[in-house]
A and B are shown apart, each in its own frame.
Chain A
Amino acid sequence: MNHPLAWLSHLFKDAYRSFVRTLLIIGFAMLTVLAIAYLQHTIRRSAAEVDYLFDNTVIFGEIVHGETLDANPRQPTMGVFVTQRTVDLFIDSGFVRSIYLEAGEPRNRLYPHNANIDTSTIVSELFRMINNDMILAINDLEGFITRNTIGTTAHEETDSRFTTDMDLVISFADGFSYEDFSFVASTSIPVPIPVIIHEHILARRGLAIGETAQLVSQSRDIHDVVIIGSYTVGPIMSAAMFNNDPLILMPLDALKSISPRDVAYVIVEFTIYSSFNREIPRVREVLNGYALRAGAGRVAPLLLMIYDDEIRLVLRPMEQTLNLLTMLYPIAFATLALLSLGLAVIMLLQRSKNAAIFRSLGATKLAVRVAYAGGYTLLCIIGAVPGMLITQFLLIDIDAALLVHIAIPFACAIVGAVIGAVIISARPPLELLQVKE
């Protein structure tokens, strides 16, 4: 059969007449391709998902009262005064992507623009918190609105706690908008401070939006303000802000420019750059160092809260699972490669007697080796092709890297087939064909 067609005819008959053996070889080749492709795809997709989640998860944090043991530590507690130095350290750490700050200044009173003001009398009352207007300075008006907006309209309930209007609503005067809520101090030309005032204060002080007014502080200074808008909230929202006191909302930079002493913050909330999501423990350690140092807070000790549950409870386990899969893959891959080689050798050894008969009939060693190794390789290809097609059907991209991974067990199968073919053709035929006495 030094005629290729004769060998092909023999191999074809051998293949379809030993159906189970053939099915095993083809099936193993197909399943090997599928297994490798699926494992690779799963690892890649999982890695991409984990990377995406790490890169896009926003981790929030805040500085709260160090002695707060409330069920809701997010409830601002009077006495949480974070110094500017602490906030600067947080910002300069390079970890903080954005920061939301609120600072309070309780002892102030508004007057209409043309009112006569007796500062000596006022300051005494302000010191005793009589008839005062509280300033809430914020660095992000939209952030403030978001924090104080539920965003849904409650259904009507008999419980008086619930109303149909729970959101903070800002009404701007004509010609004013969110963009006007900003302040840049100037020593040459006094700039009126833009403020947004609770409707109750407007009513109490006889003011209207769009007007200018005078703000008297406990340091006896009088500052011009322009009322760019007013706001209202539902009762439940009012309860979230400073014991129901209506507030004067002021840009933080404005308060810093008029306050006689360093501003201390009652709310410090921040987000962390996603690039540090994998290093939250280190971030926590550094920021904790700033929050716990002496003088970090003006009145009470501080507590740093970083809300990384999503990372700890979801992403880290995902990452560990991925790491496990990544670690197991080489073992599975090596196992498949060795099985491919071993199966090929075993399947070829099953044809030892046939090879010996061929040799006794005059077939050359080379012809026997090429025929049997080639026949096995052909069966592997017949199995690998549907495996690749199914892989494509499952929307798994077959790229060069995956092809290499698939090719290696296939190459091992060929090596095994060659080894087997060499063994069966090298053994003396009479050893296999003679009946031992």
Chain B
Amino acid sequence: MLKLENVSYRYKNSSVDVLKNISAIFEPGKVHAVVGPSGSGKTTLLSILAGLDRPASGNITVQDKDMAGIDLDQYRREHVSMIFQAFQLFPLLTAVENVCVPMQLSGEGLNKKGQETAKRLLESVGIDSDKHKRYPSNLSGGEQQRVAIARALSSSAKIILADEPTGNLDAANGKAVIDILKRLAHEDGYCVIIVTHNYEIAEASDVIFKMSDGVLAVLGD
């Protein structure tokens, strides 16, 4: 579970809070959507949730541990996985090798066991074995995003943070990706947080948060 209590944030040398007293609970087993227009503070919230920065004030607890006491690099390795709109796979690594990277960051994945785990994860997201050794440039957009999801699953993190995961996909592939994320949440117990400005995706989620001018409010459950 990821819990935010009165979290505020302002950029250095700025007197304006970009995030204003945000309180929210992101629960395992649910798909959460954070919607809002550009400039509303979604990216900043994303940075905080992804452990790329710390809040100026307030508390964030993850799995009942105060994030202030956790090293951010460790937080990103062990607690949260990110999926990006532009997939952000390593172009010079194959699909399997991309999925192995988070395991390697944790000191695993160099052996055959890691390779087998990666292949299994790829197949679980619908990437057949004949595509395991392909480079991202030889995969379709939908396939690349599935590889990115498989990579997100290869670490021990139980929180998946998706930044516009269907932004570069057509409707069919976008729906397929959302379905995978919903399955991960509902069947495998992941806490999925989707940051998007697409209200259709938000409506497919379990919980909808609206971000407006640095303030987060629950729209619907």
> Which residues of A are interface residues toward B (Cβ below 8 A)?
1-3, 5-6, 9-10, 13-14, 17-18, 353-354, 356-365, 428-430, 433-435, 437
Instruction: State whether the Cβ of B212 lies closer than 8 Å to any Cβ in chain A.
Output: no
- Kindly identify which residue among B43, B75, B93, B106 contacts A430, using a CB–CB cutoff of 8 Å: B43
CA distance A207 to B83 in the complex (A): 123
Instruction: State whether the Cβ of B153 lies closer than 8 Å to any Cβ in chain A.
Output: no
With a CB–CB cut-off of 8 A, which chain A residues contact B85? 434-435
With a CB–CB cut-off of 8 A, which chain B residues contact A364? 73
User: Are the C-beta atoms of B93 and A13 separated by less than 8 Å?
Assistant: yes
With a CB–CB cut-off of 8 A, which chain B residues contact A5? 110
With a CB–CB cut-off of 8 A, which chain B residues contact A18? 92
User: Are the C-beta atoms of A433 and B90 separated by less than 8 Å?
Assistant: no
User: Are the C-beta atoms of A360 and B47 separated by less than 8 Å?
Assistant: no
With a CB–CB cut-off of 8 A, which chain B residues contact A2? 105, 107
User: Are the C-beta atoms of A430 and B73 separated by less than 8 Å?
Assistant: no
Looking at the assembled complex, report how far the CB atom of A410 sits from the nearest CB atom of chain B, in whole angstroms.
26
- Kindly identify which residue among A1, A10, A434 contacts B84, using a CB–CB cutoff of 8 Å: A434
Shortest Cβ distance from B103 into A: residue: A6
CA distance A429 to B46 in the complex (A): 12
User: Are the C-beta atoms of A434 and B163 separated by less than 8 Å?
Assistant: yes
CA distance A362 to B105 in the complex (A): 7
User: Are the C-beta atoms of B107 and A428 separated by less than 8 Å?
Assistant: no
CA distance A361 to B106 in the complex (A): 10
User: Are the C-beta atoms of B52 and A6 separated by less than 8 Å?
Assistant: no
Can you identify 18 A-B contacts, CB atoms within 8 angstroms? A1-B104, A3-B110, A6-B110, A9-B110, A10-B104, A13-B93, A14-B92, A353-B88, A354-B90, A358-B105, A359-B52, A360-B76, A362-B73, A362-B77, A363-B105, A428-B52, A429-B52, A435-B167
CA distance A364 to B52 in the complex (A): 11
With a CB–CB cut-off of 8 A, which chain A residues contact B104? 1, 3, 6, 9-10
CA distance A3 to B114 in the complex (A): 14
Looking at the assembled complex, report how far the CB atom of A220 sits from the nearest CB atom of chain B, in whole angstroms.
111
CA distance A356 to B88 in the complex (A): 9
A14, A358, A437, most chain B CB atoms within 10 A: A437
Shortest Cβ distance from B100 into A: residue: A6
Shortest Cβ distance from A3 into B: residue: B107
Given contact pairs A363-B73, A428-B47, A1 touches B105 in the complex (Cβ within 8 A): yes
CA distance A13 to B97 in the complex (A): 10
Looking at the assembled complex, report how far the CB atom of B155 sits from the nearest CB atom of chain A, in whole angstroms.
7
With a CB–CB cut-off of 8 A, which chain A residues contact B82? 360-361
CA distance A74 to B102 in the complex (A): 92
User: Are the C-beta atoms of A434 and B105 separated by less than 8 Å?
Assistant: no
User: Are the C-beta atoms of B167 and A362 separated by less than 8 Å?
Assistant: no
Interface residues on B, range: 35 or more
The 4 closest A-B pairs by CB, nearest first: A362-B77, A362-B76, A6-B104, A17-B92
> Which residues of B are interface residues toward A (Cβ below 8 A)?
38, 43, 46-47, 50, 52-53, 73-78, 81-82, 84-86, 88-90, 92-93, 97, 101-102, 104-107, 109-110, 151, 155, 163-164, 167-168
CA distance A3 to B111 in the complex (A): 13
Shortest Cβ distance from A357 into B: residue: B88
CA distance A5 to B109 in the complex (A): 11
CA distance A353 to B90 in the complex (A): 9
Given contact pairs A9-B110, A362-B74, A363-B73, A433 touches B84 in the complex (Cβ within 8 A): yes
With a CB–CB cut-off of 8 A, which chain B residues contact A10? 93, 101, 104
With a CB–CB cut-off of 8 A, which chain A residues contact B110? 3, 5-6, 9
CA distance A437 to B197 in the complex (A): 11
CA distance A434 to B90 in the complex (A): 15
Shortest Cβ distance from B53 into A: residue: A428
User: Are the C-beta atoms of A361 and B46 separated by less than 8 Å?
Assistant: no
User: Are the C-beta atoms of A6 and B109 separated by less than 8 Å?
Assistant: yes
- Kindly identify which residue among A6, A358, A361, A433 contacts B86, using a CB–CB cutoff of 8 Å: A433
Looking at the assembled complex, report how far the CB atom of B113 sits from the nearest CB atom of chain A, in whole angstroms.
14
User: Are the C-beta atoms of B97 and A433 separated by less than 8 Å?
Assistant: no
Looking at the assembled complex, report how far the CB atom of A280 sits from the nearest CB atom of chain B, in whole angstroms.
66
User: Are the C-beta atoms of B52 and A430 separated by less than 8 Å?
Assistant: yes
CA distance A215 to B73 in the complex (A): 115
With a CB–CB cut-off of 8 A, which chain A residues contact B167? 435
With a CB–CB cut-off of 8 A, which chain A residues contact B43? 430, 434
CA distance A363 to B104 in the complex (A): 10
CA distance A167 to B152 in the complex (A): 102
CA distance A365 to B167 in the complex (A): 29
Looking at the assembled complex, report how far the CB atom of A59 sits from the nearest CB atom of chain B, in whole angstroms.
68
Shortest Cβ distance from A353 into B: residue: B88
CA distance A152 to B104 in the complex (A): 87
Looking at the assembled complex, report how far the CB atom of B41 sits from the nearest CB atom of chain A, in whole angstroms.
13
CA distance A18 to B109 in the complex (A): 23
4 additional A-B residue pairs with CB within 8 Å, beyond A361-B81, A362-B105, A435-B85: A359-B52, A359-B76, A360-B50, A365-B73
CA distance A433 to B195 in the complex (A): 14
Shortest Cβ distance from B72 into A: residue: A362
Shortest Cβ distance from A5 into B: residue: B110
User: Are the C-beta atoms of A435 and B50 separated by less than 8 Å?
Assistant: no
User: Are the C-beta atoms of B102 and A13 separated by less than 8 Å?
Assistant: no
CA distance A2 to B107 in the complex (A): 6
With a CB–CB cut-off of 8 A, which chain B residues contact A363? 73, 105
Shortest Cβ distance from A366 into B: residue: B73
With a CB–CB cut-off of 8 A, which chain A residues contact B93? 10, 13
Shortest Cβ distance from A354 into B: residue: B90
B47, B105, B151, B155, most chain A CB atoms within 10 A: B105
Looking at the assembled complex, report how far the CB atom of B50 sits from the nearest CB atom of chain A, in whole angstroms.
7
Looking at the assembled complex, report how far the CB atom of A29 sits from the nearest CB atom of chain B, in whole angstroms.
21
User: Are the C-beta atoms of B92 and A430 separated by less than 8 Å?
Assistant: no
Looking at the assembled complex, report how far the CB atom of B125 sits from the nearest CB atom of chain A, in whole angstroms.
17
